[in-house]
Structure 1
């Protein structure tokens, strides 16, 4: 499915990809935009490379963080997608922050067991104190500060209040949570298959030290919001735990849903299809409609 994007932003992003690729002698002719939610993700048709472009101050922070985390996790032989061996991240006027990744197979219809396996492996790696700490609250504050001008002040205030309440509740439960290395945003769209057949995790923007239970939350929330109850039951069986049985489940679910609304606030006006789905998600949260289904951002 093509990503719906304004012509102006599309031209800016393609120009950034072309300039970034020229720095490392890659041909960006006919680079294809394959996804744009938090980052714009391009596939190069002339070489097996994926180019990710972040925008603004948040994009710069994420770009630096993801490169650091990928390198550190590679030292632990973690099941994660490798960086391309070039100097990065690359910073360009715009401002844009660019990272490069070898293109791996993402054509599989992933099973729940294939998602659970790399998570179990990742969670068994001893914590590394040099990794950044998972902090969705600072991320949210940054995204709210950089929100597109099309978002109303009323909605921004509502989100800020909702985040404050969630942070206070999370801090209450934090001492009860087992900490370790987490991916931060594990779902089937963030799986790739290496040539050896091994399944690895990509999109490491939220990876670091955090509550291990958090990596089970996306599938638990998705069971309702994306009508994936069958997938979730199989995921629980493969991983061996159901986070919904835990007393802290409600606040983790709340944080996940807020992330899925707040993460796209910057540059929202340039993405009409994303903006429409965002409005639906926000409306259902404000109405406390816990059974409403959502669609994927495209």
Structure 2
């Protein structure tokens, strides 16, 4: 996937990857940026390795969490991407948190049942006290506090108020929802195929113990926001449940939409194409246009 960012940010990220690779005895020569939404994701040319770079306080908080979660899930035989061995995460310049993953095969398109299957397997795991609690609200507060200066104070204030209302709405239903191990951000962009041919989930930053219904929400919201109604019908058939039938669906849908607007706030000024799509999403959200379609961040 092509991505777009300022030359200054591109140089910063490349220097971070070089420094982190040196600590893992890997060469960063020719490393390719393949994705950048919340994390900057690089593919190494020197080895079948993926390097994920998180920035600021949010990246630091998620770095150690994602490594420990990935290792716990791997020990349980869960269908997840394998994190590399060794001491991780690696901290560079007190502003970037880097993790290393074994590279697996990917595809441009996936079918609904290929997403539903790994999710169902994850949801059948017995929750463990060692796993973190799913908490989008703390993540949102961190991102709002770290919002790029190009984001207007009025927009930040609006988002802060919207998140407060969303959290109140969620707390009213929290005790009524089945709880288990959730991925936290399941969509087809987070699917890979391992060497055995098994389809696995990657991007485990939000994985933990939370409401199982949350993992069904991204596809339900995407049915409208990304014009994927057909895919969602197939997903419902494959998974066996439609979250839109639940009384707490509106509360969870609101959180998902806010996540998709808030997640890119730090350093958005260095990514012009992301900034343009973010402006569109936020404008439609503020205007209450619940059926307006969005585009993927690039």
TM-score tier after normalising by the smaller chain length: over 0.9
SS of corresponding position for 1:74: helix
Q: State the number of aligned residues.
A: 298
2: CA distance, partners of 1:175 / 1:21: 44
**Paired position in structure 1 for 2:97:** 97
**Paired position in structure 2 for 1:271:** 271
Q: Residue deviations 1:206-227, cap 9 Å, x none?
A: 0000000000000000000000
Task: Kindly state the Cα deviation for residue 54 of structure 1 after the two structures are TM-superposed.
Answer: 0.6
2: CA distance, partners of 1:140 / 1:169: 15
User: What TM-score do the two structures reach when normalised by structure 2?
Assistant: 0.99
Task: Kindly state the Cα deviation for residue 77 of structure 1 after the two structures are TM-superposed.
Answer: 1.1
Task: Kindly state the Cα deviation for residue 94 of structure 1 after the two structures are TM-superposed.
Answer: 5.0
Task: Kindly state the Cα deviation for residue 80 of structure 1 after the two structures are TM-superposed.
Answer: 0.6
Task: Kindly state the Cα deviation for residue 86 of structure 1 after the two structures are TM-superposed.
Answer: 2.2
SS of corresponding position for 2:227: coil
SS of corresponding position for 1:180: strand
Q: Residue deviations 1:166-221, cap 9 Å, x none?
A: 00010001111000000000000000000111000000010000000000000000
Whether the aligned pair in 2 keeps the contact of 1:41 and 1:50 (CA below 8 Å) is yes
User: What TM-score do the two structures reach when normalised by structure 1?
Assistant: 0.99
SS of corresponding position for 1:266: coil
Task: Kindly state the Cα deviation for residue 109 of structure 1 after the two structures are TM-superposed.
Answer: 2.0
Task: Kindly state the Cα deviation for residue 71 of structure 1 after the two structures are TM-superposed.
Answer: 1.2
Pair 1:11 & 2:19 matched: no
SS of corresponding position for 1:126: coil
**Paired position in structure 2 for 1:223:** 223
**Paired position in structure 2 for 1:67:** 67
2: CA distance, partners of 1:79 / 1:61: 24
1:160-179 paired onto structure 2 within 5 Å: 160-179=160-179
Task: Kindly state the Cα deviation for residue 146 of structure 1 after the two structures are TM-superposed.
Answer: 0.3
**Paired position in structure 2 for 1:138:** 138
Task: Kindly state the Cα deviation for residue 108 of structure 1 after the two structures are TM-superposed.
Answer: 5.1
Whether the aligned pair in 2 keeps the contact of 1:55 and 1:94 (CA below 8 Å) is no
1:1-298 paired onto structure 2 within 5 Å: 1-107=1-107, 109-298=109-298
Q: Residue deviations 1:255-283, cap 9 Å, x none?
A: 00000000100010000000000000000
2: CA distance, partners of 1:275 / 1:35: 15
Task: Kindly state the Cα deviation for residue 45 of structure 1 after the two structures are TM-superposed.
Answer: 1.3
1: CA distance, partners of 2:119 / 2:205: 16
Q: Residue deviations 1:43-74, cap 9 Å, x none?
A: 01121100000111111111111011111111
Task: Kindly state the Cα deviation for residue 2 of structure 1 after the two structures are TM-superposed.
Answer: 1.8
1: CA distance, partners of 2:185 / 2:226: 15
1: CA distance, partners of 2:285 / 2:19: 40
RMSD of equivalent CA atoms: 0.8
Question: Could you list the runs of 4 or more consecutive aligned residues of structure 1 that deviate by over 2 angstroms after TM superposition?
Answer: none
Q: Residue deviations 1:137-159, cap 9 Å, x none?
A: 01100000000000111111100
1: CA distance, partners of 2:276 / 2:94: 26
Q: Residue deviations 1:102-128, cap 9 Å, x none?
A: 110012521100000000001001111
1: CA distance, partners of 2:238 / 2:199: 15
2: CA distance, partners of 1:170 / 1:57: 25
Task: Kindly state the Cα deviation for residue 24 of structure 1 after the two structures are TM-superposed.
Answer: 1.4
